[in-house]
Structure 1
Amino acid sequence: MTDVTDVKDISNAYLHDQLVYQYLLEHPAFFQHHPELLSRLRLPHAQRGAVSLVERQMELQRERVRGLEEDITRLMSIARQNEHIFFALNQLHLDLLAARQKTDIRLALSAFANKMPHVHACNLLEFNHEAMGDNFTAIQMVLEHRLQGRHYYFGRLNRDEMATLFQPGIHSVALLLISHADQPLALLAFGSQLDDHFQPSMDTLFIDHIAKVLALVLPRYGQQGC
């Protein structure tokens, strides 16, 4: 059983800590007026036993610098990747506008996919029985199950769904519904061999642009062959 005196001692220690804490917050120049205390204060350290306040401050500053350097490196990597995607997307835009037949569209999409990191497959499926063949019903089921009224899906599919859209080896997908005047035209599917390359949290800026361009280009060719 805890002694009453012990409880009082704990309460007093906590109260004193709060008073010191509040005083230092209200007097940030305290150690400037008493610099000798900086060298006398010792703080517990997991590896070195105890260090001075100045040493601990320097260590924290070094940790912050390392964190900032890692953030800068990550942001630069993202910037380079976005630049690469931008130029590839720009070329895709030009190729789609210059396409003379649907084969040109498919070639342009495949060339774009080949430039994207960790994208290993690209498939454009038009919404008609002739183009989809025996997969028509299966593809309709994928749309109903995964898109559920949305225009995008990012993530994994089950084995049967994956076999409907891709050759073996694809593990995560980006599905993009292409529509014109509220009428579905086609399904654009990108596939990656990585399990987590396409994820629900992914940004849709670039893929949304592809959808808009395809929605303008595909109706030019009606039901003509590929």
Structure 2
Amino acid sequence: MSDPEIKPSRGAPSAERQVADYLLQHPEFFERHLYLLKDLRVPHPSGTAVSLIERQVAQLRKENKELRKQLSEIVDVAKGNDRLNSRMQRLTFNLLEAKGLDDLLAQLQEGLEQDFQADFFGLRLDPAAHALATMERAGLSIGPKPMRALFEHQFATGNPMCGRLRAEQLDALFGSQANQVASAAVVPIESLDFSGVLGIGSRDPHRYQPGMGTLFLVQLGELLDRALRKYFLESLRDGS
């Protein structure tokens, strides 16, 4: 096993080369001669010479500091995930326990604004032909233009998106507030009776960025689909 950092230069005296070769061939040498470590001097980034033991201690401290930083980052991520899970559980309970569609939409807006720092939200649905009258009777917002046409890629992949939207997408989701939305998250929703889009907007252009994790948004879309379908079926039954 060789270590290029301690190989002597080509111009080194033969005695130095012999010492270096010997140490490379006998890496356990200092284990048998620990007393030498305190007297050996090695370069230090500060420019001063320190003993090998001091250099090792300094290196261990540096590595320890880096490990503590990594551990702190892991703990922060875990705490963030715990907070997100707690908020998601609360939103799930509130949506599934909502007393009608009006309450459901109010709970959704409150949850997004208070727990997920949403500045704006919009829910636009495209009901199937047989469901149009029921959706209008239920008071759900029907998009002025089919959402599938505006968010074709999201419906094709079934994946949410984050980032900046085109002007026509902003108008369709956020209406008169569209010019205040600097970044947004878009969640496609699809069911046998309706399809639609949930938009979550922020004044902060960096709040929703392409490439950020979307697991929460996927879960939110599934939850909203389930909750809406429940009230849609009830409304359809009552209106039949």
Q: Which amino acid aligns with 2:113?
A: N
Q: Is residue 189 of structure 1 aligned with residue 199 of structure 2? A: yes
| Matching residue of 2:211 | 201
**Equivalent runs, 1:93-108 vs 2, <5 Å:** 93-108=92-107
Give the C-alpha shift of residue 107 in structure 1: 1.5
The CA distance in 1 between the partners of 2:31 and 2:170, in whole Å, is 67
Give structure 2 stretches of 5+ with no counterpart.
Answer: 1-8, 236-240
**What secondary structure, in the 3-state scheme, does the structure 2 residue paired with 1:127 have?**
strand
**Shift of residue 187 of structure 1?**
0.7
8 Å contact from structure 1 (residues 92, 109) kept in 2:
yes
Q: Which amino acid aligns with 1:192?
A: S
2:146 matched to 1:144? no
Q: Deviations over 1:114-144 (max 9, x none)?
A: 233543222222125973454x15x445402
Q: Is residue 2:178 matched to residue 1:179?
A: no
For residues 131-176 of structure 1, give each alpha carbon's deviation from its aligned partner in whole angstroms, at most 9, with x where no partner exists: 3454x15x44540256653321122324553344332333322211
Contact 1:93–1:213 (CA<8 Å) still a contact in 2?
yes
* 1-structure distance, mates of 2:168, 2:156: 18
Identity of aligned residues (%): 25
Amino acid at match of 2:209: Q
Q: Secondary structure at the match of 1:99?
A: coil
Cα distance in 2 for residues equivalent to 1:155 and 1:43 = 52
- Correspondence list, 1:76-115, <5 A: 76-115=75-114
- The verdict on how the C-alpha distance between 1:147 and 1:222 changes in structure 2, with shifts beyond 3 A counting, is closer
Work out whether 1:23 is the aligned partner of 2:25: yes
RMSD after superposition: 3.4
1:95 and 1:177 map into 2 onto residues whose CA distance is 21
Tell me how far 1:52 sits from its aligned partner: 2.3
Question: In structure 2, do the counterparts of structure 1 residues 82 and 21 end up closer, same or farther at CA, with 3 Å as the change threshold?
Answer: farther
2: distance between equivalents of 1:169 and 1:21?
A: 69
One-letter amino acid of the counterpart of residue 150, structure 1: G
Q: How many residues align?
A: 210
* Aligned residues of 2:44 and 2:50 also touching (Cα < 8 A): yes
- Whole-Å Cα distance in 1 between the matches of residues 24 and 167 of structure 2? 61
Q: Note if contact 2:42-2:52 (Cα within 8 Å) is conserved in structure 1.
A: yes
- Are residues 20 and 179 of structure 1, via their aligned partners in 2, closer, same or farther at CA, if it must alter by over 3 Å? farther
Q: Moved runs in structure 1, 4+ residues, more than 6 A?
A: 15-18
2:42 paired residue number: 43
Partners of 1:191 and 1:22 lie apart in 2 by: 62
